[in-house]
């Protein structure tokens, strides 16, 4: 018998090499790793015990804070009770309970939930539902999908196709056919240093009318936008923009999808940004905050008329040929229910709304520091654009990332040369001060 110590299943040298990290500069990371080993509430801890203040809610997801006891206990209890239930043709009670709870948080008649495991899956699910919805209603010519420049909708082929981030698209061929894009709503000359929704840019929604004139409404299935484009560097919608998109979609029978993978679950001070903006889309995609990042989960909220359109024909026949082995996984449902309880019991969405003004004020205190080109606070998040180094786009942002981890005990996110912050919603006012104090020092260090 082979000795345990020599089995490849037991001990192997851990040189970090085999793990191909996602959306990461692998060689730079492996030369100087940024590892976290433990977390609690507002903090991460490195393997050697340093305490980092989490200014990024992990990756925009741990909205309730890290390792919260009620969520941990719910996951532990669920793991001991029911590890897995088949997602197709069977289910378990917590899936229905969570769907009801999520639907109750959503505006209007967004009252049905399709579960999946990530934001990318949620987006591809929503796009497929849009196409299938028109199909079942006899409008099979409605196949075009409209996204927006600088949009991020995950990494599935559908999400990348409607997304508008060049580096995410250019290596992957032709993507989906029949996709068009609205312009980005960002214009630094017109909007720099706006707090919240900029005054300029509402008219850019009229581009949808131009695309309708070009393609004809009878060929367009859906428009998908992030209410606040977050991953690209936090771009709040110009005043009136989303309302206009809604009106144009209504006029032409086009479905409007809000991708709320980041903006959902309190980030904008409400359960969904749709509520903040008073615009009810036809579908909302969500993920991340639904379980406060503790177990992977995503989903799509759909309006009643969309669900109803599928509920026709013989009752033993599957209505939508789509789903995932781990749709509504028991661990994710248990985590989701405990997370929603925490959001409710600690009024975390209202808390984010109240903290928005001091957050914005603290963010704006960085104006005037070296290389700061724009600061865009909205909800409990902000994008801070730094000037790129000549001929080295992204290098200053990367230096800021390294400095934050190694020198300032802060977790932040750098997107190119833009710093993005989005703390857990349990952040205190003094921690907000601490975050921006550290960010100010980092900006000076990388000047
Ligand atoms: C708006 C939006 N959609 C989709 C996604 C993809 O989510 P995931 O990484 O869970 O697939 C993200 C991730 O940041 C996102 O911000």
Residue to mutate, 157, 262, 268, ligand 1, most ligand atoms under 8 Å from C-beta: 262
Q: Is the CB of 261 under 6 A from ligand 1?
A: yes
Q: What is the pLDDT of residue 312?
A: 96
Instruction: Answer yes or no: is the C-beta of 286 below 6 A from any ligand 1 atom.
Output: no
- pTM greater than 0.85: yes
Which pLDDT does position 13 carry in this prediction?
A: 63
Please provide the DSSP assignment of 152-205 as one string. ---SSHHHHHH---HHHHTTSTT-SSSEEEEPPS--HHHHTT--SS-STTGGGG
420 lines ligand 1 (CB under 6 A): no
Ligand 1 centroid distance, CA of 259 (Å): 8
Tell me if 230 CB under 6 Å of ligand 1: yes
**Ligand 1 near 124 CB (within 6 A):** no
> Residue whose CA is closest, atom 8 of ligand 1?
119
Separation between Cα atoms, residue 309 and residue 319, nearest integer Å = 10
Whether 144 contacts 179, CB under 8 Å: yes
Please work out whether the CB of residue 306 comes within 6 Å of at least one atom of ligand 1: no
Q: Which atom of ligand 1 is nearest to the CA of 287?
A: 10
153 CB near ligand 1 (under 6 Å):
yes
The answer to whether the CB of 226 falls within 8 A of the CB of 151 is: yes
pLDDT in tens, the chain (447 residues): 444 455 666 666 678 999 999 999 999 999 999 999 999 999 999 999 999 999 999 999 999 999 999 999 999 999 999 999 999 999 999 999 999 999 999 999 999 999 999 999 999 999 999 999 999 999 999 999 999 999 999 999 999 999 999 999 999 999 999 999 999 999 999 999 999 999 999 999 999 999 999 999 999 999 999 999 999 999 999 999 999 999 999 999 999 999 999 999 999 999 999 999 999 999 999 999 999 999 999 999 999 999 999 999 999 999 999 999 999 999 999 999 999 999 999 999 999 999 999 999 999 999 999 999 999 999 999 999 999 999 899 999 999 999 999 999 999 999 999 999 999 999 999 999 999 999 999 999 999
Give the angle 279-282-283 at the CA atoms, nearest 5°: 105
Residue 126 Cα to ligand 1 middle (Å): 13
Q: How far is the CA of 312 from the centre of ligand 1 (A)?
A: 32
Task: Indicate which atom in ligand 1 lies nearest the CA of residue 263.
Answer: 1
> What distance in Å separates the CA atoms of residue 201 and residue 296, rounded to the nearest whole number?
35
Indicate if ligand 1 lies below 6 Å from the C-beta of 327.
Answer: no
* 146 close to ligand 1 (CB < 6 Angstrom): no
Report the distance separating Cα 268 and Cα 258, nearest Å.
Answer: 14
pLDDT at 391: 86
DSSP SS3 for 383: strand
Q: Using the structure block, give the residue that is written with the tokens 């250019």.
A: 170
Q: Characterize 59-92 residue by residue with b for buried, 16 or more Cβ atoms within 10 angstroms of its Cβ, and e for exposed.
A: ebbbbbbbebeebeebbeebeeeeeeeebeeebb
Give rounded-to-5 percent helix, strand, coil for the chain.
Answer: 40, 15, 45
Ligand 1: distance of its center to the CA of 119 in Å?
A: 4
Residue 298 CA, ligand 1 centroid: distance in Å: 9
Q: Does the C-beta of 226 come closer than 6 Å to ligand 1?
A: yes
Question: Ligand 1 mean position to 101 CA, how many Å?
Answer: 22
Q: CB of 262 closer than 6 A to ligand 1?
A: yes
Rounded CA gap, 250 and 307, in Å? 18
Q: Whose CA is nearest to atom 14 of ligand 1?
A: 231
129-158 core/surface letters (b: 16 or more CB in 10 A; e: else): bbbbbbebeeeeebbbbbbbbbbbbbbbeb
Quick one: which H or E segment has residue 353?
helix 348-364
353 lines ligand 1 (CB under 6 A): no
Residue-level pLDDT at 10:
64
Instruction: State whether the beta carbon of 259 lies less than 6 angstroms from ligand 1.
Output: yes
Distance 315 CA to ligand 1 centre (A): 34
């Amino acid at each position: 018998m082979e000795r345990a110590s020599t089995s490849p299943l037991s001990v192997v040298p851990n040189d970090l090499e085999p793990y191909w990290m996602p959306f990461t500069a692998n060689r730079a990371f492996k030369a100087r790793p940024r590892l976290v080993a433990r977390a609690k509430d507002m903090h991460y801890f490195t393997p050697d015990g340093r305490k980092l203040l989490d200014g990024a809610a992990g990756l925009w997801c741990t909205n309730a804070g890290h390792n919260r006891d009620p969520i941990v206990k719910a996951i532990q209890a669920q793991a001991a009770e029911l590890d897995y239930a088949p997602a197709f043709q069977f289910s378990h009670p917590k899936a229905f309970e969570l769907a009801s709870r999520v639907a109750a948080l959503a505006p209007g008649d967004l009252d049905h939930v399709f579960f999946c495991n990530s934001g990318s899956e949620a987006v591809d699910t929503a796009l497929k539902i849009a196409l299938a919805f028109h199909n079942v209603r006899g409008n099979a010519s409605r196949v075009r999908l409209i996204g927006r420049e600088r949009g991020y909708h995950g990494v599935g082929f559908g999400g990348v196709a409607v997304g508008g981030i060049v580096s995410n698209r250019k290596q992957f061929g032709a993507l989906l056919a029949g996709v068009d894009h609205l312009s980005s709503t960002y214009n630094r000359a017109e909007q720099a240093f706006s707090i919240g929704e900029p005054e300029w840019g509402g008219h850019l929604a009229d581009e949808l009318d131009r695309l309708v004139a070009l393609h004809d409404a009878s060929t367009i299935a859906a428009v998908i936008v992030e209410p606040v484009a977050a991953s690209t560097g936090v771009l709040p919608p110009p005043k009136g923009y989303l309302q206009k998109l809604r009106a144009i979609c209504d006029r032409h029978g086009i479905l409007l999808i809000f991708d709320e993978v980041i903006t959902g679950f309190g980030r904008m001070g409400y359960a969904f940004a749709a509520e903040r903006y008073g615009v009810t889309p036809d579908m909302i995609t969500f993920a991340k905050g639904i379980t406060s990042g503790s177990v992977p989960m995503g989903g799509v909220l759909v309006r009643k008329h969309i669900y109803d359109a599928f509920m026709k024909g013989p009752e033993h026949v599957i209505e939508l040929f789509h789903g995932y082995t781990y749709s509504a996984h028991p661990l994710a449902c248990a985590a989701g229910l405990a997370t929603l309880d925490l959001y409710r019991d600690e009024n975390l969405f209202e808390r984010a709304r109240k903290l928005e003004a001091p957050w914005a004020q603290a963010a704006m205190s960085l104006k005037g520091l070296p290389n700061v080109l724009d600061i865009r606070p909205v909800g409990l998040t902000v994008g801070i654009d730094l000037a790129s180094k000549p001929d080295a786009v992204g290098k200053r942002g990367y230096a800021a990332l390294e400095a934050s981890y190694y020198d300032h005990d802060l977790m932040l996110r750098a997107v190119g040369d833009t710093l993005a912050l989005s703390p857990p919603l349990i952040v205190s006012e003094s921690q907000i001060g601490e975050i921006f104090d550290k960010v100010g020092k980092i900006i000076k260090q990388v000047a």
